[in-house]
Homo-oligomer: A and B are copies of this chain.
Amino acid sequence: MVIRSTIMDTNSFRAEHAAGLDPDTRRLTERRDTVLGASYRLFYRNPVHLVRGEGQYLWDASGRKYLDAYNNVASLGHCHPAVTAAVTAQMQQLNTHTRYLHENILNYTDDLLSTMPAELNKAMYMCTGSEANDLAIRVAKAYSGGEGIIATTEAYHGTSELTSGISPALGTGQPLAPTARLVEAPDAYRLGSTAGADGSELGTWFANRIRAAIADMEAHGIRFAGFIADSIFSSDGVLPGPAGYLREAAEVIHRAGGIIIADEVQPGFGRTGDAFWGFQRHGIVPDVVTLGKPMGNGIPVSGLVAKADVLAAFSDTIPYFNTFGGNPVSMAAAQAVLSTIRAEGLQEHSRVVGGSLLDALRGLGDTHESVGDVRGAGLFIGFELVKDRTTREPHRELALAVLEQLRERGVLTSVAGPHGNVLKLRPPLAFQPGDIDWLVGALDDSLTALYA
């Protein structure tokens, strides 16, 4: 396949590349090749065989310890005992579905809605972020009467047919939906001067791109339905931007009759430190919010929260029943996550520790010319590598080599962005100040080794 983008394939190697592996690794990669579909890709030329996790750490089959700098699913930390205890207790008690009454779904929903603006007052539950985004787009279409969805040029929103069609990060093998339009993400580092030359600030620059996409839809007879993005543009290279700059774009979308879908699968649940939800950093109120990955700390739980009138346009007409969605065990897991984030102060922890990590990573710029930009919000950081600081030419090869170097130094992460040159640092929120030295030291050593 032609690899157009980074999220799905950079840093992924099939087993046929795996000559020279140790016998255990080779055996497992060969078994995968034999029985699993070829869509399965592994991280690293030398794949990691993990057998244990605790907090921010993972261990491989040989007993070697790793620092997880990537996984926002195990957001409270791997194998957090509060989630295990809640799931076990509920599995011993009852697990049915939402055709019967149960308090877990109601108690959790009350708690979840209390974290959101009052207008977002209806919840539904599924099992994956893809299912949440698939439903969100159907809601957008039902509410607007339109079909046209705007996403960003490197977006990834899911694996279903509908969400794949607005996920250009999947590469050119996956056709874009004919009713979709893509806009460049607001990359302050790369577009700063462009935005300036345009006579406008970043927020206006982005709002103008959305205006243009809507106009292009209309010119082709496609009625605008909505805009979907996660507010830190994770797959576009981790672009937090200045807090609040998305407001103008939000106004443009609403004036044109579209809805805003905030995909909180990555920035949600305290990750960005500044706010519990990514969209709150920008002071905007989306019409639909989709939730996923960290929601159950590894148990498949996802959700959709919406304004009542927006959701009604769909749910008054089309039935929706998700067999496992919102079941007592899923809700017990989700409740344990929400309660633990609060009990352990993980949002504030993310803000403070993320800030320290950001500072330490920026310090690497003093000794490594290849460090182009370091940006983030909380424990969600993009570390961008360039060939030249003046031209800002992306250094994809270096980023991929750094990933492999980091893996050999026990630090697990991946890359993002249209050029594949941005390290995506998004550790479990269990990441501690004492881990900064390992991560930054490994990165320092990796960059030194690659330029030695």
Contact = CB atoms under 8 A, between A and B. Distances in A.
B78 A318 contact: no
Interface in A64-104: 71, 73-74, 78-79, 83-84, 87-88, 91-103
Contacts of A92: 79, 84
Given A39-B314, A95-B78, A329-B298, A49 B100 contact: yes
Contacts of A123: 35-37
Given A12-B99, A110-B35, A162-B161, A323 B122 contact: no
A162 B159 contact: no
B160 A106 contact: no
Given A94-B50, A105-B36, A99 B138 contact: no
A47 interface: yes
Contacts of A97: 71, 73
B121 A35 contact: yes
Most buried by B among A49, A88, A293, A300: A300
Contacts of A99: 12, 41-43
A36 B103 CA distance: 12
Contacts of A8: 319, 321
29 contacts: A8-B319, A31-B106, A31-B110, A35-B106, A35-B121, A35-B122, A36-B106, A39-B314, A39-B315, A39-B321, A40-B124, A41-B319, A43-B99, A50-B102, A74-B96, A79-B91, A84-B88, A84-B92, A88-B91, A128-B128, A128-B324, A131-B159, A135-B159, A137-B161, A159-B321, A171-B318, A171-B319, A174-B319, A299-B299
A101 B41 CA distance: 10
Nearest to A167: B319
Copy number in the complex reads 2
A134 interface: yes
Contact of A36 (B40, B109, B131): B109
A113 interface: yes
Given A124-B37, A131-B159, A28 B103 contact: yes
A298 B312 contact: no
B322 A37 contact: no
A23 interface: no
A126 B159 CA distance: 10
A153 interface: no
A219 interface: no
B79 A38 contact: no
Contact of A91 (B32, B51, B84, B312): B84
A124 B36 CA distance: 6
Contacts of A329: 298-299
Contact of A94 (B9, B79, B98, B105): B79
Nearest to A1: B317
A292 interface: yes
A71 B28 CA distance: 36
A327 interface: yes
Nearest to A135: B159
A287 to B, nearest CB: 13
A290 interface: no
A199 B161 CA distance: 42
Most buried by B among A1, A93, A316, A323: A323
A289 interface: no
B128 A318 contact: no
Contacts of A71: 96-97
Most buried by B among A1, A314, A317: A317
A449 to B, nearest CB: 24
A164 interface: yes
